[in-house]
A and B are shown apart, each in its own frame.
Chain A
Amino acid sequence: MPDSAPGVVTAPAAGLTSPEPAPWSFERLRRPAESIVIPLAALLVAMVLFGLFMAAIGKNPMEVYGLIYKGAFSSTFAWQNTLQRAAPLLLTALCVALPAQAGLIVIGGEGALVLGGLAAAVAGHALAGAEPLVIQIAMALAGMVAGGTWIALAGALRHYRGVNETISSLLLAYIAIALFNHFVEGPLRDPASLNKPSTMPIGDAVMIGPMPGMDVHWGFAYGIVYCVLGWVLVRYTVQGFALRIVGGNVRAAKLAGLPVGRLILASCFLGGGAAGLAGMAEVAAVHGSANASLIAGYGYAGILVSFIARHNPIAIIPVAILLGGIAASGGLLQRRLDLPDATVLLLQGIAFMTILAAETLYGRMRLFQPKAA
């Protein structure tokens, strides 16, 4: 194989020339532009398809688009709604994106989230009476360690025993939820929680509350910081580079003497830690204790976010906000147009399919190739 890198695909079919206008004047902007223009174009296609579908069932697509915009991005209220819904997705998406750097497809973030929440609730109650800040830090650490360990288990099974991590992480999520229910409804149940079994409350003083000046809880900030740190780690550190080599070719990484096992475990731990932190934020910012409301599917929604972001930690931020916005506007679609909740799922599904289909276009459009090649 002389040269199979995407940059040197020589003659793309003439018909594939992009409809975009004049090429960029700066040669070095071509490549980065590719990873922005392609997903945006895919989204546009998704919106058009969705609009056609809406028209087919007798709704005015323009009105639907208008409501999506109104519900998601048109006002301070809408923005806060959007950001709040994006918050857990930032962290659960990292649970997919970070192990993906090492070539693993982990889809069990839900398990890490609920166990992280449970560990955080236990830590919060065990330390009752200490300084709130101390308790909050302990809760965050407990959540991250619990979630991280859980996903690291899937990584270990893969590395040491060759078990497919996609399946094992999913099955581990079922086990995690079963364990969670067992503890919440059994040994750790607050006897006062009659019809909604919960762990002992951590107390109002320990709750982390909204960020100053807005009605969005701190989980959003945790997510942004974690995404940025994850991006720096993956892009600008030696460890991150080593991780990507493992993801690119494990045999080459082994040949180069890289500690493959440790890198896989570390990426799984950090990813699971992110989901665990999301669980901690649910407990500390929303529910005040661990209960079945934590099992809300954020872990699974994160898979979608990470794939659309092509497992790039920094791209997770806009994608999570976009999906948060779609979720935020879903209510308005239901209320104003009498559309079922599945409408939003449909839009998400169409967007997911078009974006994945657009993946095949990378490196195939001359517009985005530096001329020198």
Chain B
Amino acid sequence: MSSSPLRPARRQLLQALAAAGIVASPFGRVFAADKITVGVIYVGPKDDYGYNQAQAQAAAALKKMPGVTVVEEEKVPETVDVQKTMASMIVEDGASLIFPTSFGYFDPHTIKMAEKYPKVRFAHCGGLWTAGKHPLNCGSYFGYIDECQYLNGVAAGHASKSRKLGFIAAKPIPQVLRNINAFTLGAQSVNPAITCQVVFTGDWALPVKEAEAANSMIDQGIDVITMHVDSPKVIVETCERRGIFVCGYHANQAALAPKGYLTGAEWNWLTPYTVHVKDAMAGRPLNNFLRGGLKEGFVKTSPYGAAVPEAGRKAADGIKAKMMKDQYVIFKGPIKDNTGKVAIAAGTEHKQQDVALEAMNYLVAGVIGKV
């Protein structure tokens, strides 16, 4: 029973590979190839001004590399559908490198497909790959975007008059908490009295709730908002309409708020994409655990908007320069959480690569909200 279920699919795969000329020689896959088909899968629309757009921008840049063909599919849910999408990119389009870009695609979907198609490379966005536990032909890439959220905080701290900031977030999971904390700490580096109100909407794309949250924050006197949701579009637009400042996330949203956009935390996925494509074309093994921050070019900040005061630009640029030299630690003790407990003891430093940060389950002092 264990071999029969695979038979039709395997035959299909061989046909497709043969058609693509990949198995023309018996050593085809081992040696360098001058052509490659890359599949990119998005969970939402490619033009969402957010998470998916950031990935799609990198995919669009990949298309310009010689010998690279990119096939894309958007709005693929994190169900068995994504397994079928990956399989059909491999079988019908001859893709040999797949970028499943949504966090929920990894377990079980990407792992399952990596086991089923051992000759195809799967580079997943999220950072869950574990040596010894997961197949070698899949891996993960991710960026330390909390560095940019810290810089957002610095700019916000300088721009804010009310010293009240707002953060609209999807879910209280470690990745998100890390951004909220970094943003707050960045602002507090300007003025320790600054507070940050957080609202969790409950899901990644709830535009109505996000707009409501933004409006109620503005009504309370909050004058800079940032966010961690899939598409920041409505929040940025709401802030602009109500005349307050906003820091972007995922991609550059300056066009949506020409007056109030301070700066933003952006992904630069082209960096890891290029590493994976070059490795694949040169026949080098897949880099299973690929990460970086500002220094490595995995993330970047949006150009400053007109509303950022000169002092703010200088302060943020100074910290950014230190981050680029790996000399700045965001999560450095003593840090207390907002219930008064010690979160990071004095003398303890968690550098970006520290896995302790990946299990973050608290909000730092000054954040108004509950996990």
Contact = CB atoms under 8 A, between A and B. Distances in A.
Q: Do A and B bind each other?
A: yes
Interface of A: 70-71, 75-77, 80-81, 84-85, 181, 185, 194-197, 210-215, 217, 282, 285-288, 291-293, 296-297, 327-328, 331-332, 334-336, 340-341
A80 B7 CA distance: 12
B162 interface: no
20 contacts: A71-B92, A75-B12, A80-B8, A84-B80, A181-B202, A195-B173, A195-B174, A212-B4, A213-B5, A214-B5, A215-B6, A215-B9, A215-B87, A285-B80, A293-B78, A296-B77, A327-B81, A331-B73, A335-B72, A340-B46
B171 interface: yes
A161 to B, nearest CB: 29
A215 B5 contact: yes
Which has the most chain A C-beta neighbours within 10 Å: B1, B80, B93, B175? B80
Given A195-B174, A215-B5, A77 B74 contact: no
Contact of A288 (B77, B108, B203): B108
Nearest to A344: B75
Contacts of A181: 202-203
By secondary structure, the B interface counts as helix
B79 A76 contact: no
Contact of B1 (A70, A212, A293): A212
B161 interface: no
Interface in B51-108: 71-81, 84-85, 87-89, 91-93, 103-104, 107-108
Given A194-B358, A296-B79, A212 B5 contact: yes
Given A77-B91, A332-B88, 4 more contacts: A194-B359, A287-B108, A293-B78, A331-B84
Nearest to B127: A195
B108 A77 contact: no
Contacts of A336: 71
A113 to B, nearest CB: 11
B45 interface: yes
A344 to B, nearest CB: 9
Closest 9 interchain pairs by CB?
A341-B75, A335-B71, A293-B78, A76-B8, A77-B12, A296-B77, A195-B173, A286-B80, A81-B84
B303 to A, nearest CB: 30
B37 to A, nearest CB: 10
B366 interface: no
A94 B37 CA distance: 41
B173 A197 contact: yes
Interface in B180-220: 202-203
A260 B233 CA distance: 51
A91 to B, nearest CB: 14
Given A76-B8, A77-B12, A334-B73, A197 B171 contact: yes
Contact of B104 (A80, A292, A331, A340): A292
Contacts of B91: 77
Contacts of A76: 8-9, 11-12
Interface string B8-44: 1101100000000000000000000000000100000
Given A185-B171, A210-B5, A215-B5, A77 B87 contact: yes
Nearest to B41: A331
Most buried by B among A213, A282, A293: A293
B157 interface: no
B126 interface: yes
B27 to A, nearest CB: 26
Nearest to B202: A181
A81 B5 contact: no
Nearest to B361: A194
A76 B88 CA distance: 12
